[in-house]
Amino acid sequence: MPKPIDELLPEKHTRRPRIYAYAIHDDAHAGLLKVGQTTQDVKTRVAQQLKTAAIENFEIVLDEPADRPDGSLFTDFQVRDRLKEKHFENTTLEWMRCTVEDVRTAIAELRVNKAYSGNHHLDFPMRDEQRDAVEKTYWYFTSRWKEDSDAVPEFLWNAKMRFGKTFTAYQLAKKLEAKRVLVVTFKPAVEDSWKTDLESHVDFDGWTYMSHKAGVDPSKVDAQHPLVFFGSFQDLLGRDAAGNFKAKHKWLTEVVWDLVVFDEYHFGAWRDTAKELFEGEDEASRKKEIKLEFSDAQETFADELEVQANDEDAFVPIRAGAYLYLSGTPFKALATGRFIEEQIFNWTYTDEQRAKAQFSVDHAGEPNPYAALPEMRLLTYQMPDELISIASQGEFDEFDLNAFFEAKGNGGTAEFVHKDDVQKWLDIIRGAYLPTQVDALKAGTKPPFPYSDTRLLPYLQHSIWMLPRTASCAAMKNLLAEPQNAYWRDYRVVNVSAPDVGVGLDALPPVRKAIGSGFDTKTITLTVGKLTTGVTVPQWSSILMLRNLSAPESYFQAAFRVQSPWVIRNPNGNDPHAEDILKPVCFVFDFAPTRALRQISEYGTGLAPDEPNPEHAVEELVKFLPVLAYDGSNMTQVDAGGILDIAMSGTSATLLARKWESAILVNVDNLTLKKIMGSAEAMDAVMNIEGFRALGANVFETVVNKSESISRTKKEKGDDLTPTEKKELSAEEKEYKSKRKQIQEKLIKFATRIPAFMYLTDYRENTLYDVITKIEPGLFKAVTGLSVEDFNLLVSLGVFNAGHMNQAVFAFRRYEDASLSYTGIDSHDGLTHYGLYDTVVAVDQPG
């Protein structure tokens, strides 16, 4: 008799065996985990086990596949046996006295049939962008070593927080087969992540982690095993009272480090931040404010670091094979041309948010690794004329936040100079100021003020307010507590800039205590600058910019504090892979619109210094960082063109001219000079630039050879240099630095000819490529002295910074368009929007 079709075509068993672990939260099971195995859904299997006992206070803490890459399987018995080998107690049946990390380590070992030292249990791979960073850096390092076996190549990772810089840097070290890695940071608090990443991931099993805290000499560690040594700039590179490097770190100069990593690399950015935070103060007041916000030690060390930062040949007592620099906002290094394009890997906020959107498209239904990273929103507000009138000043006659929030006194006696007006501002942001209510009724719209719009209020449950002075923070706390401000009593106000609050990360505990879990509390953190870099407070969802910040580094370091993920993992206790994202977006509120949009403009163009058209760079940014502006009657979204128009309002022809006198337009580092020396065509081209023949053809060789010789001598002799040798070296340094300065001045003088060419040509636009190369190459040579071919050659060698020239050209075009528009004349139509050196011509050329 024939068999039924169902018997002939049985369903194929496709269930993947899994190892699971769960905890029961009661005294009897404290510290214990049930480790089991199933081919069912883990939640279903655990429910079956606990249903008869009516146990509900359980939590599934682990759910992992029980197979190896070769297809073979391991069992829960093997997992428990491996745990017992590590001396974890097997109490009864499948219950183990251990942590979930211990179980993960046992699984990771069984998966590759290998025993790991310590608690290496993580085995996730690099994301695509992390792999790209490693490959690009590895290629650059190895190519430089092939060119020159004695070269010490440098590379910059311009990567925002949450990129995974520590894990990726270790992967680079592994690919380089580095045995000695030195990590130096300006922020010692980041040590935890460097230590955890090395000691928890299976890729770094057998590596040794050490830090300056251990007081151990790394030179005594077995050279066959990879070593990572972590230290701070202040400790390792700081000098004693006599100006010498600390004797206790003499070993630092004796070890040959395969890779040196400078974390939180800003070289002077902290110094710039400190200056900006307390601009307008006299020296005594400034030092007092810095002491409250930071520390005396950091102020002293910042002075030393600034000197080193401004001298590319400054002596650092380290022998290294290669240098890797890590920073989330290295705008200063990018702007000065410190690194050329092939020495930089970029992973910006825009890259991150683009990857987040693309992953959802390419891998629908899969967990998105970027999902928890919130998208930012910038909301700017034009204040009423009566408030603007009391604090309008500065280069662009803008609303001056520092003047508006100026305060006197300290502690409980601190008070705003314009207290009545600040009170009006408090009423405005919660929608309770009568004049703005009347205006809203007339306009028929209700503007979304931060503390009045129900869509925004959930994101203001925990916020940070950045004010101009410590006195301003104290005055704000006092004002919020006054009787008329009953609305604000629901918020616990934490003034981390108060004198009795700790320095640096020591200021964090009061904030965490006030926030608690974050669900049933409301907080406002007041700060001048403390806790605006290098900290993570997941519950912060918005920041109010109540002070002037001109540097985009300072502005966005602070703004990114609110972009940290706030996630609940395993929210129902039955799925370790599940997570609730509590903060899908975050907000920056700014009350000086023009200044805020200028920050966006500078940040957007700073993220893409080589983008030919700055409008494209800003346009790409605002796709993922929408900007909304309240003009006093309506709140509207502002596009890239509008941002640039507003940001450049008030720009004068004089300011534009200064762009063409800036040192960032040219590169005169040794690497660039060597490229010129290595090309006969380039040498001939440079000699055609006015003034160069007077310097002599050997000026480049003199600068390169003397600077390298001096650097070599310092590294070899270090503190053994005699006073006579130091004096001789100092004289030689002055000589080659003077010549380098002369080279720079000649190149800048050439750059200033380009605006003259722009004024003379009838084809002015934000791209000059076609004008120079196709339309009027003869005019270009007549004005500048260089042929198009010579100019392109020098650009390709990095002598001229194409990206910054593009931005200067673009600023000129914007300024000219605005001027012509004012007179009723339109700029040329139909011209291209490519960059100065873009090789694609998208329009037909006349003639």
Q: What is the pLDDT of residues 230-272, one digit of tens each?
A: 887 766 655 555 556 566 666 777 788 899 998 877 544 444 4
Residue scoring higher pLDDT (366 or 20): 20
Mean pLDDT, range 9-21, rounded to an integer: 71
Handedness of CA 806, 809, 815, 821 (dihedral sign): negative
Structure tokens at 568: 């609940």
Residue scoring higher pLDDT (567 or 131): 131
251 located within any domain: yes
What is the C-alpha to C-alpha distance for residues 370 and 351, in angstroms, rounded to an integer? 11
User: How many structural domains is the chain composed of?
Assistant: 4
What pLDDT score does 491 carry?
96
Residue 159 exposed, middle or buried by CB count within 10 Å (0-12, 13-18, 19+)? buried
What pLDDT score does 238 carry?
57
Residue 44 exposed, middle or buried by CB count within 10 Å (0-12, 13-18, 19+)? exposed
Residue-level length of the chain: 847
Instruction: Examine the pLDDT at 413 and tell me if it is beyond 70.
Output: yes
Instruction: Examine the pLDDT at 114 and tell me if it is beyond 60.
Output: yes
What pLDDT score does 457 carry?
92
Buried/exposed 679-710: b ≥16 CB within 10 Å, e otherwise: beebeebbeebeebeebeeebbebbbebbeeb
Structure tokens at 504: 């640096």
pLDDT winner (highest mean) among 529-538, 628-637, 659-668, 837-846: 529-538
- Distant-in-sequence, close-in-space partners of 514: CB < 8 Å, separation ≥ 6: 492, 494, 521, 523, 525
For 651, which DSSP code? -
Instruction: Examine the pLDDT at 835 and tell me if it is beyond 50.
Output: no
Q: Please indicate, yes or no, whether residues 316 and 398 belong to a single structural domain of this protein.
A: no
Q: Hey, how many other C-beta atoms are within 10 angstroms of the C-beta on 191?
A: 19
Q: Please indicate, yes or no, whether residues 795 and 766 belong to a single structural domain of this protein.
A: yes
What is the C-alpha to C-alpha distance for residues 550 and 552, in angstroms, rounded to an integer? 6
Q: Please indicate, yes or no, whether residues 480 and 593 belong to a single structural domain of this protein.
A: yes
Range(s) of the domain holding residue 793: 663-822
3-state class (DSSP) for residue 600: helix
What pLDDT score does 135 carry?
96
Q: Hey, how many other C-beta atoms are within 10 angstroms of the C-beta on 434?
A: 9
Distances in Å between the Cα of 548 and the Cα atoms of 34, 157, 377, 401, 429 are 56, 28, 19, 6, 19
Q: Hey, how many other C-beta atoms are within 10 angstroms of the C-beta on 352?
A: 20
Q: Which of 128-142, 184-198, 294-308 is predicted least confidently?
A: 294-308
Residue in 666, 840, 843 with CA at minimum distance from that of residue 763: 843
What is the C-alpha to C-alpha distance for residues 402 and 547, in angstroms, rounded to an integer? 5
Q: Hey, how many other C-beta atoms are within 10 angstroms of the C-beta on 258?
A: 18
Residue 364 exposed, middle or buried by CB count within 10 Å (0-12, 13-18, 19+)? exposed
Residue 323 contacts residue 339 (beta carbons within 8 Å): no
What pLDDT score does 524 carry?
96
353 located within any domain: no
Q: Please indicate, yes or no, whether residues 620 and 755 belong to a single structural domain of this protein.
A: no
Tens digit of each residue's pLDDT (9 = 90 or more) over 619-648:
778 888 888 888 766 777 887 766 766 665
Adjacent-strand bridge partners of 523? 462, 492
What is the C-alpha to C-alpha distance for residues 402 and 300, in angstroms, rounded to an integer? 26
Instruction: Examine the pLDDT at 393 and tell me if it is beyond 50.
Output: yes
What is the C-alpha to C-alpha distance for residues 536 and 520, in angstroms, rounded to an integer? 20
What is the C-alpha to C-alpha distance for residues 661 and 465, in angstroms, rounded to an integer? 38
Q: Which of 243-247, 346-350, 533-537, 781-785 is predicted least confidently?
A: 243-247
Residue 62 CA, distance from chain mean position = 33
What pLDDT score does 632 carry?
67
The span from the first CA to the last CA of the chain, in angstroms, equals 90
Residue 703 contacts residue 736 (beta carbons within 8 Å): yes
Mean pLDDT, range 204-230, rounded to an integer: 76
Residue scoring higher pLDDT (71 or 702): 702
Instruction: Examine the pLDDT at 611 and tell me if it is beyond 50.
Output: yes
Q: Please indicate, yes or no, whether residues 734 and 786 belong to a single structural domain of this protein.
A: yes
10 located within any domain: no
Structure tokens at 236: 């390792």
Mean pLDDT, range 100-128, rounded to an integer: 82
What is the C-alpha to C-alpha distance for residues 795 and 800, in angstroms, rounded to an integer? 5
Q: Please indicate, yes or no, whether residues 26 and 157 belong to a single structural domain of this protein.
A: no
What pLDDT score does 832 carry?
37
- Between CA 568 and CA 574, with CA 572 as vertex, the angle to 5 degrees is 115
Residue in 465, 456, 429, 426 with CA at minimum distance from that of residue 587: 456
Residue scoring higher pLDDT (712 or 563): 563
845 located within any domain: no
What is the C-alpha to C-alpha distance for residues 382 and 399, in angstroms, rounded to an integer? 9
Structure tokens at 15: 């269930």
Residue 638 CA, distance from chain mean position = 25
Residue 630 contacts residue 380 (beta carbons within 8 Å): yes
Instruction: Examine the pLDDT at 305 and tell me if it is beyond 50.
Output: no
187 located within any domain: yes
Mean pLDDT, range 721-747, rounded to an integer: 78
Residue in 711, 563, 724, 552 with CA at minimum distance from that of residue 647: 552
Adjacent-strand bridge partners of 627? 378
Residue 111 contacts residue 96 (beta carbons within 8 Å): no
pLDDT band at residue 131 using 50, 70 and 90 as cut-offs:
very high
pLDDT band at residue 10 using 50, 70 and 90 as cut-offs:
low
Residue in 415, 421, 379 with CA at minimum distance from that of residue 401: 421
Instruction: Examine the pLDDT at 499 and tell me if it is beyond 70.
Output: yes
Instruction: Examine the pLDDT at 436 and tell me if it is beyond 50.
Output: yes
What is the C-alpha to C-alpha distance for residues 694 and 672, in angstroms, rounded to an integer? 20
Instruction: Examine the pLDDT at 547 and tell me if it is beyond 80.
Output: yes
What pLDDT score does 651 carry?
44
Mean pLDDT, range 411-436, rounded to an integer: 87
Q: Which of 342-356, 425-439, 560-574, 813-827 is predicted least confidently?
A: 813-827
Mean pLDDT of the chain: 76
Residue 474 contacts residue 535 (beta carbons within 8 Å): no
Helices 593-607 & 614-624 angle (0-180, nearest 10): 110
Q: Please indicate, yes or no, whether residues 612 and 668 belong to a single structural domain of this protein.
A: no
Helices 552-559 & 593-607 angle (0-180, nearest 10): 90
What pLDDT score does 394 carry?
47
What pLDDT score does 235 carry?
66
β-strands 567-569, 579-581 pairing:
antiparallel
| pTM for this predicted structure | 0.70
Distances in Å between the Cα of 588 and the Cα atoms of 256, 378, 433, 725 are 46, 5, 22, 55
What pLDDT score does 717 carry?
66
- Distant-in-sequence, close-in-space partners of 6: CB < 8 Å, separation ≥ 6: none
Residue scoring higher pLDDT (435 or 47): 47
Instruction: Examine the pLDDT at 541 and tell me if it is beyond 80.
Output: yes
pLDDT band at residue 397 using 50, 70 and 90 as cut-offs:
low
pLDDT winner (highest mean) among 218-227, 261-270, 786-795, 799-808: 786-795
Handedness of CA 10, 14, 19, 25 (dihedral sign): negative
3-state class (DSSP) for residue 725: helix
362 located within any domain: no
Q: Which of 318-332, 593-607, 747-761 is predicted least confidently?
A: 747-761
Q: Please indicate, yes or no, whether residues 108 and 144 belong to a single structural domain of this protein.
A: no
**Domain with 195 in it: what CATH number?**
3.40.50
What pLDDT score does 51 carry?
80
Q: Which of 42-56, 303-317, 672-686 is predicted least confidently?
A: 303-317
Structure tokens at 296: 């005396």
Mean pLDDT, range 407-431, rounded to an integer: 92
What is the C-alpha to C-alpha distance for residues 317 and 718, in angstroms, rounded to an integer? 7
- Between CA 165 and CA 177, with CA 171 as vertex, the angle to 5 degrees is 135
Residue 239 contacts residue 297 (beta carbons within 8 Å): no
**Domain with 403 in it: what CATH number?**
3.40.50.300
Q: Please indicate, yes or no, whether residues 440 and 333 belong to a single structural domain of this protein.
A: no
Instruction: Examine the pLDDT at 348 and tell me if it is beyond 90.
Output: no
What pLDDT score does 161 carry?
79
612 located within any domain: yes
Residue in 418, 401, 430, 394 with CA at minimum distance from that of residue 479: 418
Mean pLDDT, range 545-563, rounded to an integer: 84
Q: Which of 142-156, 299-313, 535-549, 797-811 is predicted least confidently?
A: 299-313
Q: Please indicate, yes or no, whether residues 333 and 461 belong to a single structural domain of this protein.
A: no
What pLDDT score does 478 carry?
96
Q: Which residue has the tokens 């004024």?
A: 759
What pLDDT score does 682 carry?
83
pLDDT band at residue 168 using 50, 70 and 90 as cut-offs:
very high
Residue scoring higher pLDDT (791 or 511): 511
The residue from 56, 81, 112 where one domain ends is: 112
Q: Please indicate, yes or no, whether residues 403 and 497 belong to a single structural domain of this protein.
A: yes
Residue 482 contacts residue 414 (beta carbons within 8 Å): no
Residue 169 contacts residue 207 (beta carbons within 8 Å): no
What is the C-alpha to C-alpha distance for residues 442 and 436, in angstroms, rounded to an integer? 10
**Percentage of the chain with pLDDT > 70?**
70
298 located within any domain: yes
Mean pLDDT, range 489-511, rounded to an integer: 86
- Distant-in-sequence, close-in-space partners of 565: CB < 8 Å, separation ≥ 6: 162, 372, 373, 374, 538, 581, 583
What pLDDT score does 22 carry?
94
Q: Please indicate, yes or no, whether residues 426 and 516 belong to a single structural domain of this protein.
A: yes
